A and B are shown apart, each in its own frame.
Chain A
């Protein structure tokens, strides 16, 4: 049987553990490395954490983030429109990641105690 386990960066990705699923956060994290259009975002997110966002999920997140002013569209390139993160989006991403970091640290500390 073909193994579906693959390496994502330094992290051993195991699909049986499930995906990290917070599409708006994943989009913000993807755009933190520079403007991207939809297809590039899907590929970047897959490389970042192994989650494959469906096109509908991705555009649901894009529409919400744009509505909140956390990302903004750039001029269209051959029907594909790139997006970039705004200053407010960077602030939100930083705050969300800090919370996740705290959670991860606390969780790992508890595991150490086991």
Chain B
């Protein structure tokens, strides 16, 4: 494989992976035939590495702490969505009171979208991070569960 192509497809891997394996991987690619099957294999493997990283530590060899895991988009998005759902409920209570309405209004639909929309993100987070950093991932999942519970509590307590 040509050095230029080898360098380009190695860049498809995440930075932390490249920092550890990039140089030796590029040397291997140069020694390999530049076949389509090798090209597809590397592109697919790079995609897999981005979705489910094999290494649990970052480029400095440090296992991410709870603080850095919770800031990841797949962790922060469900928490934010739960808090937004809670805000929708609180705004609705402030404007219309706690009385149950005859039909579902915009607030109810927004609340339902926010609560159901976060489930795929939550599953993605669990699949990606539980095998890598179980302790930190469980902490984030617990936080997400609390956020979901807080958002759902008014709806169930007020029997909406």
Contacts and interface: CB of A to CB of B under 8 A. Distances in A.
A101 to B, nearest CB: 28
Interface string A71-82: 000001011110
Nearest to A73: B24
A42 B54 CA distance: 20
A63 B54 contact: yes
B153 to A, nearest CB: 40
Contact of A56 (B23, B26, B44, B56): B44
B54 A67 contact: yes
Nearest to B21: A59
A60 B24 contact: no
Interface string A24-59: 000000000000011100100000000000111111
- Interface majority SS on B: helix, strand, loop or mixed? helix
B42 interface: yes
A64 interface: yes
Contacts of B29: 55
Interface residues of B, number: 25
A55 B54 contact: no
A106 to B, nearest CB: 31
Interface stretch (B45-53, B91-99, B137-145): B45-53
Interface in A55-107: 55-60, 62-64, 67, 76, 78-81
Interface residues of A, number: 20
Consensus secondary structure, chain A interface: helix
A55 B28 CA distance: 7
Contacts of B49: 60, 63
Nearest to B54: A63
A62 B24 CA distance: 12
B31 A59 contact: no
A60 B42 contact: no
Contacts of A63: 17, 20-21, 49, 54-55
Interface of A: 37-39, 42, 54-60, 62-64, 67, 76, 78-81
Interface of B: 17, 20-21, 23-29, 31-32, 37-38, 41-46, 48-49, 54-56
30 contacts: A37-B24, A38-B28, A38-B31, A39-B28, A42-B32, A54-B42, A54-B45, A55-B28, A55-B38, A55-B45, A56-B41, A56-B45, A58-B28, A59-B21, A60-B45, A60-B54, A62-B21, A63-B17, A63-B20, A63-B49, A63-B54, A67-B54, A76-B24, A78-B27, A79-B23, A79-B24, A79-B27, A80-B24, A80-B27, A81-B24
